[in-house]
């Protein structure tokens, strides 16, 4: 994703360890891999997890359910960290109000347009196919049901009224909120007379997280996550302040990793994180992932929430996998995926647009392959293999249209 995701287009300060690089191309490559994982994750939603999705009644696979649970432990947290890494530089370069204006343009416009076009289209497809009400036109659905201007049916099947929501665009909405909160903190610090430029990496940064810091972070994150999930289990979404679509069970991880991204920029951690630390945590994370796949077929093994042992176990393992896999992947790509090309630069530039537009493409393909006698794994493979290139191709076309490039 272009970090805001769009600020990734601005070259970061040269790193002491890699002074010859004017840009972290390996971070571009990591963003490409993550956005492909996002598309695959949503492709699996119809065939694995039991939580709500736009397409129902398809064959299910325990392996895909486990894969989705494993993805959820780390990939969006890593997106928040990468996005936050470029926020301080953008703020310093533009200043307070221009930074806010840029965030509202880059994030607010796609969010608003998507919530009024892409998401209602997806919700309308679900309404027509699964809700069991008489068919109505999209125009009537949009005004009466999606916006809630009509009367709520007495037997409304939910999940909420009205249908208005942000769907997969929740990440952009939350990222915008975090970015504006960061700007507010910078302004408060300035008004308070702080002369410490919190976003500028020190000339000679010294401390960098090691095993001890990562273990401490894991313990703290697990504790906070468990406490939140006592009241808000996984996949429970609430309207914070009446308009923010948030999943409280994931807030500790997402907020922590956005903060870590800010700190990583200050301390140049992405370039300075010791290789051995990265390899150790990557290996540990992969072992943890293997454990999840070993027991993941039994959905009762882990708890989605509540004050019970299963929930405590999953909160701890979830937090550990988040820290281990994010740390390991950052070092893996830094050390092994540093090459760049015209193609990878184009894919990285299009990744934010892919995030915005991929869901309708995925859902359309899921409907197209429904009731074809395919297994869950076959359907998943087909949807993913088609949705990834189509999403990138469509994103590339859209970003060449005048005006679109400014917000995508």
pLDDT digits 0-9 by tens, 21-54? 457 899 999 999 999 999 999 999 999 988 889 9
Which pLDDT score, from 0 to 100, does residue 22 have? 53
> Considering the chain, what percentage of its residues have pLDDT values greater than 90?
72
Confidence bin at 14 (pLDDT 50/70/90): very low
Which pLDDT score, from 0 to 100, does residue 279 have? 97
Q: Residues 321-372: pLDDT tens digits? A: 999 999 999 999 999 999 999 999 999 999 999 999 999 999 999 999 999 9
Structure tokens at 274: 């010791």
Nearest to 251 by CA among 262, 270, 236, 263: 236
Structure tokens at 392: 């990138």
Which pLDDT score, from 0 to 100, does residue 11 have? 37
Which pLDDT score, from 0 to 100, does residue 301 have? 62
Average pLDDT over residues 220-244: 88
Which pLDDT score, from 0 to 100, does residue 304 have? 79
Residue 6's CB: how many other CB atoms inside 10 A?
25
When comparing pLDDT for 138 and 309, which is higher?
A: 138
Which pLDDT score, from 0 to 100, does residue 16 have? 40
CA distance 78 to 62: 25
Q: Residues 301-318: pLDDT tens digits? A: 677 788 888 899 999 999
The long-range contacts involving 92-95, CB below 8 angstroms and separated by at least 24 positions, are 92/197, 92/199, 92/200, 93/10
Average pLDDT over residues 383-402: 96
CA distance 366 to 379: 8
3-state secondary structure labels for all residues of 28-96:
HHHHHHHHHHHHHHHHHCCCCCCCCCCCCCCCCCHHHHHHHHHHHHHHHHHHHHHHHHCHHHHHHHHCH
Going by the DSSP 8-state scheme, the letter that residue 104 receives in this structure is I
pLDDT higher than threshold 70 for residue 185: yes
Residues with Cβ within 8 Å of 235's Cβ and at least 6 positions away in sequence, in order, are: 51, 52, 247, 249, 304
Which pLDDT score, from 0 to 100, does residue 7 have? 55
**Annotated domain spans of the chain:** 6-206+243-270+342-407
Q: Residues 55-77: pLDDT tens digits? A: 999 999 989 999 999 999 999 99
Residues with Cβ within 8 Å of 218's Cβ and at least 6 positions away in sequence, in order, are: 319, 320, 323, 324
Residue 110 burial by Cβ neighbours in a 10 Å radius (0-12, 13-18, 19+): buried
Which pLDDT score, from 0 to 100, does residue 4 have? 47
Question: H helices then E strands: how many in the chain?
Answer: 16, 2
Average pLDDT taken over every residue of the chain: 89
Average pLDDT over residues 155-163: 81
Which pLDDT score, from 0 to 100, does residue 47 have? 96
- State pTM to two decimals: 0.90
CA distance 176 to 178: 6
pLDDT higher than threshold 60 for residue 17: no
pLDDT higher than threshold 60 for residue 201: no
Residue 148's CB: how many other CB atoms inside 10 A?
14
Q: Residues 82-125: pLDDT tens digits? A: 999 999 999 999 988 999 999 999 999 999 999 999 999 999 99
CB 80 within 8 A of CB 257: yes
């Amino acid at each position: 994703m272009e970090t805001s995701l769009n600020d990734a287009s601005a070259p970061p300060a040269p790193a002491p360890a890699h002074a010859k690089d004017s840009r972290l191309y390996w971070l571009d490559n990591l963003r490409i891999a993550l956005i492909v994982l996002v598309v695959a994750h949503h492709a699996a939603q119809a065939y694995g997890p039991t939580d709500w999705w736009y397409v129902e009644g398809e064959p299910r696979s325990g392996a895909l359910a486990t894969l989705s649970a494993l993805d959820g432990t780390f990939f969006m947290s890593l997106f928040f960290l990468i996005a936050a890494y470029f926020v301080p530089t953008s703020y310093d370069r533009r200043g307070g109000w221009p930074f806010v204006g840029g965030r509202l343009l880059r994030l607010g416009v796609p969010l608003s347009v998507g919530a009024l076009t892409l998401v209602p289209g997806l919700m309308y497809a679900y309404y027509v196919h699964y809700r069991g009400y008489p068919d109505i036109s999209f125009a009537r659905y949009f005004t009466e049901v999606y916006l809630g201007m009509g009367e709520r049916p007495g037997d409304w099947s939910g999940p909420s009224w009205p249908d208005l929501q942000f769907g997969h665009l929740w990440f952009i909405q939350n990222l915008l909120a975090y970015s504006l909160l960061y700007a507010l903190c910078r302004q408060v610090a300035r008004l308070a007379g702080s002369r410490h430029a919190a976003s500028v990496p020190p000339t000679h940064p010294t401390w960098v997280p090691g095993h001890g810091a990562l273990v401490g972070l894991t313990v703290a994150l697990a504790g906070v996550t468990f406490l939140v999930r006592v009241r808000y289990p996984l996949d429970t979404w609430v309207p914070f302040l009446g308009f923010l679509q948030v999943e409280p069970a994931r807030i500790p991880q997402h907020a922590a990793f956005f903060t870590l991204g800010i700190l990583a920029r200050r301390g140049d951690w992405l370039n300075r994180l010791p290789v051995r630390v990265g390899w150790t945590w990557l290996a540990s994370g992969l072992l943890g992932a293997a454990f999840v796949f070993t027991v993941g077929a039994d959905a009762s093994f882990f708890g989605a929430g509540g004050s019970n042992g299963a929930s405590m176990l999953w909160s701890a393992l979830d937090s550990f996998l988040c820290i281990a896999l994010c740390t390991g992947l950052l070092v893996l790509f830094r050390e092994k995926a540093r090459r760049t090309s015209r193609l990878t630069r184009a894919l990285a530039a299009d990744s934010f647009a892919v995030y915005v537009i991929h869901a309708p493409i995925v859902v359309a393909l899921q409907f197209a392959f429904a009731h074809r006698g395919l297994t869950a794994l076959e359907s998943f493979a087909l949807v993913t293999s088609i949705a990834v290139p189509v999403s990138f191709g469509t994103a590339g076309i859209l970003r060449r249209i005048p005006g679109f490039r400014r917000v995508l």
